[in-house]
Amino acid sequence: MNITIEQPHHAAAIDTLLDNSFGPNRAGKTVYRLRENVAPVSELSLVAVEDDTVVGTIRYWPILIGGVTPTILLGPIAVDSSLRSGGLGAQLIRLSLNRASAAGWRSVVLVGDAPYYSRFGFTRDLTLNMSLPGPVDLDRFLALELVEGSLSGVSGMLGRWPTEPTPAVRVELAARQNAGAGAGFAADRRLLNAPA
C-alpha cells in the first residue's frame, strides 16, 4: 500500500469511497458549508492506494474561527470497508497531522466520534467557545492544538476561508508560515504517535 498526496485523477475514486462511507447525502452536513468553493489544503490531502485502487482518503480545509484565526478542518476521512479496523485511518490521521504541524498549522478542528479522535488529542474542551454555521451534535465538535495554547481565548463562529484574507489574517498566516518554513518540528509543536 502506498500513501501519497491526492492527485486530480483520484477524484472520482475518492467520491465513490466517500459515498460508500457516508452516503450520497453527505454534502448536506453542516461542515460541508465550510468547504464550499474552497480548495482543500493540497499537501495534507492524502490517499492510500493499493493495487491502483484508492482505499483511503483524508482531506483538510482551511477555515477561520471568528473571522480572524486560521485553522484547518479535518475531514472527511474514509477507508474502504474491507480495510476498516486495520489501522489505516489512524495512520492517515497521524501522518497528515504531523505534516500539518511541520507546515506551521497551529490547530485542527473536526466534527467526529470523540472516543475515536481523543486518542490523537482531540477534545471538546477546546471548542466550547466556538460555534458552527448549522446544526451539529456538539459532543462531536472537537479540536486539537498542534501548538500548545494556540486556541487559548479563541472564540466565534467557524467560517469559510476568504478569497482575499484581511490584514489580520495575513499577519497570522505570515506567523504560521514562518513557524513552519524550514523549521521542521519545532520544540513547541506536537508530533503524534497515537496507537492505531
Residues 3-35 pLDDT 10s: 999 999 999 999 999 888 887 777 668 888 899
Question: According to the model, what pLDDT value does residue 162 have?
Answer: 85
C-alpha distances out from residue 6 to 13, 23, 34, 85, 187, Å = 11, 21, 20, 22, 29
Burial of 95 (0-12, 13-18, 19+ CB in 10 A): middle
Question: According to the model, what pLDDT value does residue 30 have?
Answer: 87
Helix locations, the chain, DSSP H? 11-22, 30-35, 88-102, 114-117, 167-180
Residues 84-130 pLDDT 10s: 888 999 999 999 999 999 999 999 999 999 999 999 999 999 999 99
Question: According to the model, what pLDDT value does residue 163 have?
Answer: 75
- The reported pTM is 0.85
Residues 29-80 pLDDT 10s: 888 889 988 999 999 999 999 999 999 999 999 999 999 899 999 999 999 9
Question: According to the model, what pLDDT value does residue 188 have?
Answer: 45
Going from the N-terminus, what domains does the chain have, and what CATH number goes with each? 2-180 (3.40.630.30)
Q: Which residues of 19-50 are buried (b: 16+ CB within 10 A; e: fewer)?
A: eebeeeeeeebebeebbeeeebbeebbbbbbe
Residues 137-175 pLDDT 10s: 999 999 999 999 999 999 999 999 987 666 666 666 666
